[in-house]
Amino acid sequence: MNITCSAENHAIVIGGSIAGLLAARVVSDRFDCVTVVERDQLPALPSRERLRLRTAA
């Protein structure tokens, strides 16, 4: 399936946080093309430090 993006069927979501990704998912029901723009560079691999679960002491 080859879809051409035009101004009428293209949504742009600013921010790649969980809220931005959820917004992109929601608008994808109405638009053929969705672009998510994130200002920060994301790491290629997840960091173990970020994945560590924090437990209450």
- CA 26/CA 22 separation, integer angstroms: 6
What pLDDT, in 10s, does the model give residues 1-46? Answer: 677 889 889 999 999 999 999 999 999 999 999 999 999 987 777 6
Whether pTM exceeds 0.75: no
Domain regions of the chain by residue span: 1-41
Task: Give the distance from CA 36 to its chain's centroid.
Answer: 5
**CB–CB of 42/17 below 8 Å?**
no
- CA 37/CA 14 separation, integer angstroms: 5
Distance between first and last Cα of the chain: 53
Pick the closest to residue 20 from 53, 42, 46 (CA basis).
42
